[in-house]
Amino acid sequence: MSATPLLPGISQLKVTTNRLEMAYLKAGTGNVSIVLVHGNASSSLFFQDFMLALAETGRYTVYAPDMRGFGDTETLPVDATRGVQDFSDDLDTLIRQLDLNSLHLFGWSLGGNIVMQYAMDYPGTLRSLTLQSPGSPFGFGGTKGSEGSPDWPDFAGSGGGTANPDFVQRMQRGDRSDEPNSPRMVMNTFYFKPPFRVSPDREESYVTAILSTKVGDGNYPGTMTPSNNWPTVAPGSLGVNNAIAPEYFNQGAFADMGQLVPVLWVHGADDQIVSDTSLFDFGFLGQLGAVPGWPGPEVYPPQPMVSQMRLVLDNYTANGGTYREVVLPDCGHSPHVEKQDEMVRLLTDFVDAS
């Protein structure tokens, strides 16, 4: 079980499904089930305060699983050639094990893409879908235009080889410093919009969550393939960063789902991770001159991640679905932490109306 002390009102449990052993946090005793899914380089520990705020209403029971290779859930390799379907299938087995026949799903960052995949793969149980700072439906890196056209045939600039190697090494050795490229520095610079900073005890809990990420070829960041195309790395077939590489990952079909659910899409106006000008995107870094050899805007422009999501959700609306987009000012990648009260209000209003 978690070595990090949990907040009063939060419990951690484990279940063994037919796929793996999964740990999850639970809060509240209400009749309405909400499941929160974390993103990359994080865990359920990022949700504790948010869970308690939701539970205090008395209307909800809130669950937050650790996905495979994160937190206290079993570490199994991620088959990136299936996109994020390993995660979606894991989530389905947990939902079945908990006997949640009607639920609301909330996904943050990579978790947003996981819950989108779940909605496509397992229709029938969902009452609503909330996407908080989700990644592009056309993958992270390697595409251009709202429609997600590939920059190169081998999708160079995406996948496991795009992670900062110093950050990966610091993750692997459990670095808790505040030095450049440390998990703590990356969190306070990019997960949140500076100068926002959580309390010291929360910060330690969140650093622990990031460091719970299992580093290796099968998990974070995954394998890579050398490329003759700029920036010289293309996706491999294993690991979480490859699972969101556009060679294997495309959620454009979300717009064509047969069973429609209401969608709430919330993102920060100053998100530096998922953005049309993302500081994690080689196209934008090349444009800034931060990565030498950039082939220019015609070949490799910045990836319009937000515009790509908007296109898919507009297509979803054209096919009979509904969505609401909320952009929170003065907010980075983590609205449920940075703007907790507003995020609780948005989510509860949306869930109660769905």
For the chain, the structural domain boundaries read 11-353
Residue 324 has pLDDT above 90, yes or no: yes
Superfamily (CATH H level) for 11-353? Alpha/Beta hydrolase fold, catalytic domain (3.40.50.1820)
Residue with tokens 């996407």: 131
Q: At what angle do helices 110-121 and 85-97 cross, to 10 degrees?
A: 70
**Cα(335)–Cα(331) distance, integer angstroms:** 6
Residue 169: count other Cβ atoms within 10 Å of its Cβ: 12
Amino acid at 73: T
* pLDDT tier at 317, thresholds 50, 70, 90: very high
State residue 348 phi and psi, 5-degree precision.
-70, -40
Average pLDDT score over residue span 67-71: 98
Which residue stretches of 22-177 are H helix?
48-55, 85-97, 110-121, 165-172
**Contact residues for 121 (Cβ-Cβ < 8 A; gap 6+):** 85, 88, 89, 92
For residue range 164-196, list pLDDT tens digits in order: 999 999 999 999 999 999 999 999 999 999 999
Determine the pLDDT at residue 1.
Answer: 47
The helix/strand/coil state of 190 is helix
Let me know: does 63 contact 33? Beta carbons within 8 Å. yes
Residue 64 has pLDDT above 70, yes or no: yes
* pLDDT tier at 269, thresholds 50, 70, 90: very high
For residue range 195-223, list pLDDT tens digits in order: 999 999 999 999 999 999 999 999 999 99
For residue range 132-165, list pLDDT tens digits in order: 999 999 999 999 999 999 999 999 999 999 999 9
Phi-psi domain of 31 (left: phi exceeds 0; alpha: psi -120 through 50; beta: other): alpha
Closest CA to 264 of 354, 333, 196, 178: 354
Determine the pLDDT at residue 259.
Answer: 87
Average pLDDT score over residue span 92-121: 97
Burial (0-12, 13-18, 19+ Cβ within 10 Å), 179: exposed
**Cα(288)–Cα(269) distance, integer angstroms:** 20
Determine the pLDDT at residue 258.
Answer: 85
The helix/strand/coil state of 10 is coil
Average pLDDT score over residue span 104-112: 98
How far, in Å, are 105, 110, 126 from residue 333 at the CA level? 18, 11, 25
Residue 2 has pLDDT above 80, yes or no: no
* pLDDT tier at 5, thresholds 50, 70, 90: confident
What percent of the chain stands above pLDDT 90? 97
Average pLDDT score over residue span 269-280: 98
* pLDDT tier at 95, thresholds 50, 70, 90: very high
**Contact residues for 264 (Cβ-Cβ < 8 A; gap 6+):** 128, 129, 130, 131, 323, 324, 326, 346, 347, 350
Determine the pLDDT at residue 3.
Answer: 60
Average pLDDT score over residue span 272-278: 98
